[in-house]
Amino acid sequence: MADLFIIATMTAKPGQADALRELLLPATDAFRQEDGCLAYTLLEDRKTPGRFMTYEIWRDEAALRAHMTSPVMTAAAPKMKDMLAEPLTQDFLEALKVL
């Protein structure tokens, strides 16, 4: 099975950008250590501070499912939900060419 490429987008409520950033930074380090995580990068939109994206590559769907139920994710999700202006979105992408 091909690797899974995902872009997740999270937009903080007004006044919640710093709190969301502080939640996401250490979580990103933990996510990178998960089995099946091939890449996990946290990005913040330069034009819209408080709009965060992750660029993720997972070995397969099983690794992604394990990530979504990992202790770090299950602890962060309820906190994150209260900080978001809108629900998190995930775009699943097909790699046409990998450099």
Q: What is the pLDDT along the chain (99 residues), one digit of tens a residue?
A: 579 999 999 999 999 999 999 999 999 999 999 999 999 999 999 999 999 999 999 999 999 999 999 999 999 999 998 999 999 999 999 989 877
First to last CA, the chain: 19
4-93 CATH: 3.30.70.100
The pTM of this model reads 0.91
- Residue pair 67/34 in contact (Cβ under 8 Å)? The answer is yes
At 1 the pLDDT is: 53
Query: Could you give the dihedral angle defined by the CA atoms of residues 93, 63, 37 and 59, in that order, rounded to the nearest 10 degrees?
Result: -60
